[in-house]
Amino acid sequence: MGWFKKKADPISERARALNDEIAALEAQIKNLDSKLEQDKPEGPRLRSTALPHGAAAHAPPPPPAPTEPREPIFEDVDQNRLKNRAEPASTPEHYNDLGVRKYDLAALVRRIKNNFRGPSTANPKLVNYLAAGSIQGLRPMRYEKRVARNRFLFVFIILFLVLVGILAMFVRRH
C-alpha cells in the first residue's frame, strides 16, 4: 500500500532545478561580463555626423554636478492584508454599569473554536490551488483526505477487532 514510502515532493524538485538554472545563468553572465571587460577599447569611441569618420570636435561633456539628495519614495502597502480582521476583544458593551465584565457565552464558544482552528493563511490563492489540484504533480487535497480517512478506518477496525478478541479471551477464562 506504500505507507512507509516517502513521497517525492515535486515542488522542491522543481525549486532545485530552477536554482541550478539560475546558477548556470549567473555563471554565463559572469563569463560574458569578463569577456566584455577584456574587449573594452582603450579610449572612448565617439562618432559625429558633422565631422567625417570619428573626428571629435570637442571633449566629452563633464559629468553633472551632484544634486541634493531626494526625498525617499514610499509605496502604498495594503494594510488590510497585514492586520487581522478580528473584532476587538473588549468593547464598552461587554461591561455592565459597575465596570464588571459581562458573561458572554457566544464569545466563549468563539474563543474555543479559534483554539481548534489553525491560523488564517497568508496566501489564500495558493491554498485554493492546492485544494483544487491545479499544481502539476500534486494530488488534490480531497483525494489525500480520502486516503487518510480510509487508512484511519482500516487501522481503527483492526484495533477494534484485536480489542474484542482480547475481551472475548478474558470472558471465557472467567
pLDDT in tens, the chain (174 residues): 566 777 777 888 888 899 999 999 999 999 999 988 888 766 656 655 665 555 555 566 666 666 777 777 777 777 666 565 556 667 777 778 888 877 778 888 988 888 888 777 788 887 777 776 666 666 677 888 889 999 999 999 999 999 999 999 999 988
Q: Cα angle vertex 105, ends 102, 107, to 5°?
A: 85
Give the 3-state secondary structure of residue 101.
Answer: strand
Please, which residues have CB within 8 angstroms of residue 133's CB and are 6 or more apart in sequence?
139, 140, 141, 143
Look-up of cell digits 567625417:
52
* Grid cell at residue 41: 577599447
CA 113 to chain centre: 26
Find out whether 26 and 18 touch, Cβ atoms under 8 Å: no
Please, which residues have CB within 8 angstroms of residue 127's CB and are 6 or more apart in sequence?
121
